[in-house]
Amino acid sequence: MDYRLYAILTVLECEKINFEQVKETSKETIRKSVDGLLTFIEFDCNDIAEFLQPIEVIKIVNYDELVLLLETIEWFEEIDLGYEKRN
């Protein structure tokens, strides 16, 4: 069964990534945590052993776990646009 997984890692580890093996295009286009220290890469689960060996991964998560992570204050920052929301 093919499905995608996500590796959480520090931005510094991006230097070791071959971006031809993951779904992101470059270290310049990755999403970063609010503090800019963490990121994640998306990959097919059958490719896991090939490219992750030289990378220090903090955690590997599935899609549902990633969505929950991205909703935390470490990854999501509300921006005050200076006006009130309408109901």
Per-residue pLDDT tens over the stretch 7-33: 999 999 999 888 888 888 898 999 999
- Rounded to an integer, the average pLDDT of 59-70 is 94
Kindly report the CA angle at 16 between 55 and 73, in degrees rounded to 5? 65
Reported as a pLDDT band with limits 50, 70 and 90, residue 1 is very low
Kindly report the CA angle at 56 between 55 and 61, in degrees rounded to 5? 95
d(CA 68, CA 64): 6
Q: How many CB atoms lie within 10 A of CB 83?
A: 6
Reported as a pLDDT band with limits 50, 70 and 90, residue 40 is very high
Task: Kindly tell me if the per-residue pLDDT of 43 is higher than 90.
Answer: no
The mean predicted confidence, pLDDT, of the chain is 85
d(CA 44, CA 2): 7
pTM over 0.75: yes
